[in-house]
Structure 1
Amino acid sequence: MNCVKIVSCLKGSFCHLRLVIALWLCSYQNVVALPLLPKPGQIPSTSELPSSPNSATFQPIEISPTMIPHYPFHGEPLPPMYPSFPKTYDPVLTGRCPVNFSVISSITAKTASDCTQSLSTVVGNVICCPQFNSLLHIFQGFYSNHFDTLVLQNALADDCFKDIISILASRGANSSLSSMCSVKSSNLTGGSCPVKDISTFENAVNTSKLLESCSTVDPLKECCRPFCQPAISEAALQISGIKMTLSDNKNIVEAPSEIDTLNDCKGVVYSWIAKKLRFEDANTAFRLLSSCKVNKACPLDFKQPSEVINACRNLAAPSPSCCSSLNAYITGIQKQMLITNRQAIICAAVFGYMLQKAGVMTNVYELCDVDLKDFSLQGFCLPWWSSIWARRVLASKLTCRSGI
């Protein structure tokens, strides 16, 4: 009997010991070791240096739309840059366009995002319209993958164009993109270009050179030393059947009808490029080419600045009336649209030339403290030194215009 008691006691002690060890191990796992600070003058070893944390340590922060502050001015339209979530719905399609639009959904989604109702009115020239044109080129290239032509017939182009507009509008895009970007369904037909089928195009054009030039567009070099743009122009000229006249080492197309034909053929070339490239690569290339074209001209509409001319003519010192009329005029044209900084430089030069042509020979930009940000809305985000740089640019533009 005593032996049984001893055995049961030992057994209980052993179980108790196992329980204590288990609890101790669990508590040991929750212990956090405190780092030992090195003594002064002691250089820590490589093993003691801290290592970068595991990526799994930090989880992504979820941001709910409810976290966006409510716009305090009730009853007034939201600012263009205010975050909003446009309502989406199922588009009503014609059913006569033989294209699976879901395949190019990534490009249509980007276009709808760049052409929202609120943003398109201010960034149409810079962002929305270039992306919309890129979508149409990519759509043509996607269509040509299933047919032997690089363009669409007139009736089919009308139906597909309506479907594209409906899809974009259902995702929150501006429903008047056609008029805003001056694009019609005829842009999908190739217009007056004589070459529209794939086989004739590839026989007439050096396609390997064209693809090599435009498969990857350099965002830094293309606008200054174009590589893809000349290749597109050369291919368009080859399929247009237009004979160029040589004058002063420059090729010149004189007839307006020939210019239209050349532009229509460029659309066919874009369609072939879109056919050969991935959707995202083609979209990137087309957007870069558009940015080069956009930055070559001023898109603002300058009305006759009569008040500025009358207030600033024969001026040698700063004048409150001159600067007031000048700032009021610039504020008015600034509200037309959002432009790039390069466009702002061109617009400033154009406006300065208008003033000089009307007899305002004084550098009113310098006198009235006008710089680049006054022509470009996004210029307010530029650093402080941009104002100094902008004034120098504007002053140089005025000096070049006046011949001083």
Structure 2
Amino acid sequence: MENSIGIHISQSALFNWLIIFFISIFGIRDVLPQETTIKTDSHAVVSVKASLLPKGLLGPIDISPAVIPHDQYPIEPQSPMYPSFPSTYDPILTGRCQLNFSNMASIIDKTASDCSAPLASLVGNVICCPQVNSLVHILQGTYGKNSGSLVLQQAAAEDCFSDIMSILASRGANDTIPGICSIDSAPLTGGSCPVQDVETFEKTVNTSLLLDSCSTVDPLKECCRPICQPAIMEAAVRLSQRESSPLDNAKIPGKSVGVDVLSDCKGIVYSWLSQKLSLDDANAAFRMLSSCKVNKVCPLQFKDPSTVIKDCRDPPSANSSCCNSLDIYISDVQKQMLITNRQAINCAMFFGSLLQKGGVVTNVYDLCNIDLKDFSLQAYRQQGCLLRSLPADVLYDNYTGYSFTCDLSDNIGAPWPSSSSLSSLSLCAPEMSLPALPVSQNSRASGGSRGLGLALTLVLSSLSYTQRAIP
């Protein structure tokens, strides 16, 4: 009896264990990873496999500031951590300009950078406008490269000029370039020059001499011992002397024969050169020729210096009202634009001559510690920036924004004009009577000036300026 009861209990326990075992098997199967389909509000289907989820998914997440989205319409100014970069967009073109602008992409990008919206008016005379003029010359030559023409018809000129300005603006350039640089579509038509096609051009001009002279423009010699400039002028004179037919003259509304013919023919020479040279070589040559031109004059505007003359006419002292009046006057000049080191010399000489004509005989530059950099735009509210006399460009990158290189960063005194005529001033090589640059007292004490060798890079965000109209 006892044996039968024991066997019965053992069979019941075994049955219970079997039930538990099968329940466990089915329970484990239910928690195995399965592919799950999640439907989002955007109707996108996302497949997630639980076994592929990384460990620590719900733990802390490190976010780099670089991936933090920018607010397109911030209520408050953005943090300095995020510099302000130009907004780009797809330009709206006329659709009537038969020119593949992608062939000029590198020059267009350079021009957009050199004429960036916040800097165009400040570097217009030295960087932006010379680059824009070069771009227009290259556009004119590129347009007719396969047709044998060196000009555009008036309608095409207006359309292409409008398109190129729209493209520049879409890439961050200032949208008022035509006003800043005083340029329009007229140069693209060739104006009143009687020669406007390649065949007639090459029959009229000594093209071998022209190419040899302008294929490579020496940046150290061209402005003082010009080679390309006289070659261009000689070609333009030959073109202007060629007779044009009445039909050609009829194509130029409102213009008579002989009006600005030489200037228009120089544009034709530039157009021909842009067809024969590579884009980079043509742009480099045109920029160098522009530098020779802009460095000859002072681009600043000087208002009536009667107050300075009044306070500085009598023999002044360093603590007198003369230096105070001069500082106030110069501080207003500083707000106009960035200029080159050579332009600063011209500006200092010109302003000094104005003071001398008013009766000021004392060298007030030396008396009041006026330096060459004081005639250019100021950065950090105390440090002037003089650009190099050679062609320069505005640089752009994703970290610092826009930047450019300054020269003559030391305190080199402004030259006071001597009794000799200003026309005798030469800024060429020493053997061509280059006057020695004045050296500051600080530089003498340190054993020489470092201004010519030290380049100071200024970032746009570091510039502090206020533009005022000069009466």
AA at the equivalent of 1:400: S
Q: 1:382, CA displacement in angstroms?
A: 5.2
Structure 2 regions of 5+ residues with no counterpart?
Answer: 1-64, 69-74, 244-255, 377-383, 388-405, 425-471
CA distance in 2, matches of 1:190, 1:75: 50
In the superposition, the TM-score normalised over structure 2's length comes to 0.63
Amino acid at match of 1:97: C
Which residue of the partner structure matches residue 309 of structure 2? 309
**Residue of structure 2 in register with 1:329 after alignment:** 329
Q: Which position in structure 2 is the counterpart of 1:342?
A: 342
Give the SS at the match of 1:324: helix
Q: Does 1:166 align with 2:173?
A: no
Q: Residue 197 of structure 2 aligns with which residue?
A: 197
Kept in 2, the 8 Å contact 1:313–1:361? The answer is: yes
The residue aligned with 1:16 is none
**Separation (CA, whole Å) in 2 of partners of 1:292 and 1:115:** 20
Give per-residue Cα distances to partners, 1:359-395, cap 9 Å, x unaligned: 11211111111111111331496567x434x34xx03
Deviations 1:201-233 (A, max 9, x none): 111100010011000000101111111011001
Q: Is the 1:242–1:258 contact (alpha carbons within 8 Å) kept by the matching residues of 2? A: no
Cα deviations by residue, 1:73-107 (Å, 9 ceiling, x for unpaired): x968999xx95421111111101100010111111
Residue 184 of structure 2: aligned partner: 184
Distance 1:170 1:99 in 2: 18
Measure, in 2, the Cα distance between the counterparts of 1:84 and 1:280. 29
When the two structures are aligned, how many residues end up with a matched partner?
Answer: 316
User: Which residue identity is paired with 2:138?
Assistant: I
Distance 1:65 1:137 in 2: 41
Contact 2:89 2:170 in 1 (8 A): yes
- Root-mean-square deviation over aligned CA pairs: 2.8
Mapped to 2, the partners of 1:84 and 1:272 lie a distance apart of 40
Question: 2:352 maps to which residue?
Answer: 352
Equivalent residue, structure 1, for 2:216: 216
CA distance change for structure 1 residues 176 and 356 in 2, over 3 Å: closer, same or farther?
same
Say which structure is richer in strand. Answer: 2
Partner of 1:40: none
Per-residue Cα deviation, 1:241-286 (whole angstroms, up to 9, x for no partner)? 189xxxxxxxxxxxx9857221111111000000000001111111
The residue type equivalent to 2:216 in the other structure is: T
Given that 1:353 and 1:401 are in contact with CA atoms closer than 8 Å, whether structure 2 keeps it comes out as no
Q: Which has the larger Rg?
A: 2
Higher fraction of helix: 1
Instruction: Report deviation, 1:399.
Output: 4.3
Q: Tell me: CA distance 1:352–1:120, structure 2 relative to 1, closer, same or farther (3 Å).
A: same
Residue of structure 2 in register with 1:131 after alignment: 131
Q: Deviations over 1:148-193 (max 9, x none)?
A: 2101111110001000000000001011111110101001111111
Aligned-partner Cα distance in 2 for 1:91–1:224: 42
AA matched with 1:171: R
Aligned counterpart, 1:22: none
Query: Aligned to 2:351, what secondary structure does the other structure show?
Result: helix
> Do the aligned partners of 2:236 and 2:265 also contact (CA within 8 Å) in 1?
yes
Q: Which amino acid aligns with 1:228?
A: C
C-alpha distance in 2 between matches for 1:271 and 1:173: 24
Identity of aligned residues (%): 59
Q: 2:411 aligns with which of 363, 387, 403?
A: 387
For residues 50-65 of structure 1, what are the structure 2 equivalents within 5 Å? none
Which blocks of at least 5 consecutive residues in structure 1 are unaligned? 1-63, 68-73, 244-255
> How far 1:292 sits from its partner (Å)?
0.8
1:337 and 1:66, CA in 2 relative to 1: closer, same or farther beyond 3 A?
farther
In structure 2, relative to structure 1, the CA distance for the partners of 1:75 and 1:365 (3 Å cut) is: farther
In the alignment, the residues of structure 1 paired with residue 151 and residue 349 of structure 2 have an alpha-carbon distance, to the nearest angstrom, of 40
Aligned counterparts of 1:225 and 1:176: Cα–Cα separation in 2: 36
Partner of 1:297: 297
Matches within 5 A, 1:5-404: 84-241=84-241, 260-376=260-376, 377-379=384-386, 386-388=410-412, 390-391=413-414, 394-395=415-416, 397-401=417-421
